Structure 1
Amino acid sequence: MKISVIIPVYNAEEFVSQAVESALQFDEVHEVILVEDKSPDNALQVCTQLAEKHTRVRLYQHPDKGNHGAGPSRNLGIEKSTGDFIAFLDADDYFLPNRFDAERELFKRPEVEGVYGALGVHYYSAKAKEQYYSLFEDKLTTVYERHSPKDVFLGQIYMLGSFGLFSIDALTIRKESLLQKMDILFRTNLRLHQDTEFLFRLSFYLDLYPGILDEAVAVRGVHENNRITLVDSKKINPASTRILLWKEIDRWAHDENKVPGNVKQHISRMYRSFEIANAPLTKKWGMILKYLLTDYKSIRSGLYNINFRDNLF
């Protein structure tokens, strides 16, 4: 196995060295690709030092040296990669020693196009733990049962919390399959949740297999300045960001002829539920009445959606 580990770097000078070292512990890691995304801190300097110190570390920036977000940064990393497999790591997270244990065996089978595992959590400070423990606790982010690859896409779309989640940090993909089957990699128009949107589409096009689900293979680093932590903890309105996610999924589903009609309909209903949740109070009742009359299942879908319930009134 020759694995390219892609790390988008933004405002992570305190953490990126740990992320890189955690990836370099594996002989299978052919290269660590850092894509520095015009950080306001000293991350570029730290990344330069890492690239000078380690022969397997390669550093890139966007051609205009600008800030483009995690999605385009990961796309650039994929473009520059030379390994046979792709793994991702956020700059404030890190791999554990068992990260590729399942992959070593599973990827011996040619039908395996991707492997996902479980993600743990680490609090970088007492303040971060005080603020966010109620959100993450010490739980694994994992898929709760071992599913056939054909069930992974529908499990994520239909079953939501009961299916569980897998993180991009715990995912390894066969590069050839990724480039052959997905014309669009990470969406460039999503600043947040672009990894979730990518995982939805990836599980539709590729056969993804469960790896280690009952213990962490990578760790989410929680700190006060993590943007997605602010969303998950509702310091940034989650409905306002996830409506863009579901709008994008809805648009893709209706453009993709292979998505069954009933699945497209369900995705549209999920999008509408977020649309209602994010609407001003003066519009909510009108939208609820409209969908009660024309498509009441949009409301029913929303009632199973915690973000819809929390933002309904």
Structure 2
Amino acid sequence: MKISVIIPVYNAENYVTQAVESALQFDEVFEVILVEDKSPDNALEVCRNLENKYERVKLFQHPDKENHGAGASRNLGIEKATGDFIAFLDADDYYLPNRFDAEKKLFENQEVDAVYGALGVHYYSEKAKEQYEPLFGDRLTTVYKKHDPEDVFPGLLNMKGSFGLFSIDGLTIRRKPLLEKIQPVFKTHLRLHQDTEFLLRSSYYLRFHPGILDKAIAMRGVHESNRITQVDSNKKKPSITRVMLWKEVNKWAESEPAIPKDIKIHIKRTHRSWEIANSSVGKKWGMILKYLITDYKSIRSGLYNINFRNNLF
């Protein structure tokens, strides 16, 4: 295996060395690609030092050297990658020694396009643990049992009951089918949740197989300045970003003729539910009344969704 590990770097001078060295522990890692995204801290200099220290580390910036977000940075990393497989890692996260144990065996089967595994949680400080433990706890981010590849896409859409989740930190994917079937790879206009949109879309086109699900193969690093952690823990902002996410997923689903009608309806209703949840109080009641009259099942499916109910008022 020749794996290219892609690490977008933003405001992570204190963490990126650990991320890089956790990837370099594996002989299968052919290269570690750092994409520095105009960090406000000293991350660029740290990345330069890592490139000088390790032969397998390659550093890139966007052509204009401006900030473009994690999605655009991952796209640039994929463009520069030369390995047969792509793995992702956030700059404040890190791999565990078992990261590619399942992948080495599963990818012997040429029909396997991607392998996913479980993600654990590491709190970098007591303050971070106190602040964010209610959000993450010590739980694994994982899929609860092994599923056939055709069940992954509807499972991520919450159409398979208690399915679970996986993170791109735990995903390894063949580069060739990724480039052939998933374009663009990451939607750059989504500044948040572009990884979730990517997982949904790619799991429809590619065959995702379960790897190690009962223990972590990588760790999510949680600290006070983690941008996505701050958004996920905020009771107001998540609904705004979720509306944007599901709007994009719905737009894609409507443009893809092969997606079954029941799945398209489910996606549309999920999008509507988040739109209602993000509306002002007066507009909420108007939208609820509208869907009760014109599409009762749509609002009913939303009311059964705990995330929607939590964000309703």
Q: Sort the TM-score into its range (normalised by shorter chain).
A: over 0.9
Residue of structure 1 in register with 2:20 after alignment: 20
Give the whole-Å Cα distance in 1 for the aligned partners of 2:139 and 2:32: 28
Q: CA deviation at 1:257?
A: 1.1
The within-5 A match list for 1:255-294 is 255-294=255-294
Contact 1:5 / 1:31 at 8 angstroms: preserved in 2?
yes
DSSP-derived class of the 2:11 partner: coil
Say if 1:300 and 1:115 are closer, same or farther in 2 by CA, change over 3 A.
same
Give the whole-Å Cα distance in 1 for the aligned partners of 2:239 and 2:141: 21
Give the whole-Å Cα distance in 1 for the aligned partners of 2:16 and 2:160: 31
The within-5 A match list for 1:57-72 is 57-72=57-72
What do the CA deviations read for 1:41-63 (whole angstroms, capped 9, x no partner)?
A: 00001000000100000000000
TM-align CA RMSD: 1.1
Identity %, equivalent residues: 72
Residue of structure 1 in register with 2:164 after alignment: 164
Residue of structure 2 in register with 1:104 after alignment: 104
- Confirm or deny that 1:187 pairs with 2:169: no
Q: CA deviation at 1:99?
A: 0.1
The within-5 A match list for 1:1-313 is 1-159=1-159, 162-234=162-234, 237-313=237-313
Q: CA deviation at 1:160?
A: 7.5
DSSP-derived class of the 2:219 partner: strand
Give the aligned residue type for 2:152: V
Which TM-score applies when normalising by structure 1?
0.98
Q: CA deviation at 1:258?
A: 1.2
Contact 1:230 / 1:236 at 8 angstroms: preserved in 2?
no
Aligned length: 313
Give the whole-Å Cα distance in 2 for the aligned partners of 1:236 and 1:287: 19
Say if 1:240 and 1:176 are closer, same or farther in 2 by CA, change over 3 A.
same
Contact 2:154 / 2:160 at 8 angstroms: preserved in 1?
no
DSSP-derived class of the 2:229 partner: helix
Give the whole-Å Cα distance in 2 for the aligned partners of 1:152 and 1:177: 17
Give the aligned residue type for 1:24: L
Give the whole-Å Cα distance in 2 for the aligned partners of 1:161 and 1:194: 24
Q: Where does structure 2 lack aligned partners over 5 or more consecutive residues? A: none
DSSP-derived class of the 2:87 partner: strand
Q: CA deviation at 1:311?
A: 2.1
DSSP-derived class of the 1:46 partner: helix
Q: CA deviation at 1:246?
A: 0.3
Which piece of structure 1 moves more, 229-238 or 243-252? Answer: 229-238
Q: CA deviation at 1:228?
A: 1.4
DSSP-derived class of the 2:221 partner: strand
Give the whole-Å Cα distance in 1 for the aligned partners of 2:180 and 2:302: 35
Give the whole-Å Cα distance in 2 for the aligned partners of 1:187 and 1:263: 21
Say if 1:120 and 1:82 are closer, same or farther in 2 by CA, change over 3 A.
same
What do the CA deviations read for 1:190-242 (whole angstroms, capped 9, x no partner)?
A: 00000000000010000000000000000000011111111221265210111
DSSP-derived class of the 2:157 partner: helix
Which TM-score applies when normalising by structure 2?
0.98
Q: Where does structure 1 lack aligned partners over 5 or more consecutive residues? A: none
Say if 1:132 and 1:269 are closer, same or farther in 2 by CA, change over 3 A.
same
Q: CA deviation at 1:183?
A: 2.2
Contact 1:239 / 1:307 at 8 angstroms: preserved in 2?
no
DSSP-derived class of the 2:309 partner: helix
